[in-house]
C-alpha cells in the first residue's frame, strides 16, 4: 500500500517553493492538590492566545 502522506509531501515540496504553518501560542497553568482530595495531585488547563502566533516556514 502506498504511503499517501509521503506522496503528498513530496508533491508539495516539488511544486511549491515554500510551505508555512501558523499556530496560536498556548498558555498552560498547572494546579497542585497537595491533599489529593480530588483524586489526583496535579491538574492543568491550557488556553490558546490568538494574537500571538508561531510560524514555521520550510
| pLDDT at residue 37, rounded to an integer | 82
CA dist 43 → 6, 17, 25, 32, 56 (Å): 37, 43, 20, 7, 30
Report pTM. 0.44
| pLDDT at residue 31, rounded to an integer | 87
From the first residue on, what is the mean pLDDT of each consecutive set of 10 residues in the chain (58 residues)? 64 71 91 81 88 90
Amino acid at each position: 500500500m502506498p504511503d499517501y502522506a509521503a506522496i503528498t509531501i513530496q508533491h508539495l515540496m516539488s511544486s511549491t517553493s515554500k510551505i508555512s504553518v501558523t499556530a496560536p501560542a498556548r498558555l498552560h497553568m498547572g494546579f497542585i492538590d497537595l491533599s489529593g482530595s480530588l483524586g489526583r495531585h496535579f491538574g492543568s488547563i491550557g488556553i490558546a492566545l490568538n494574537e500571538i502566533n508561531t510560524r514555521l516556514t520550510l
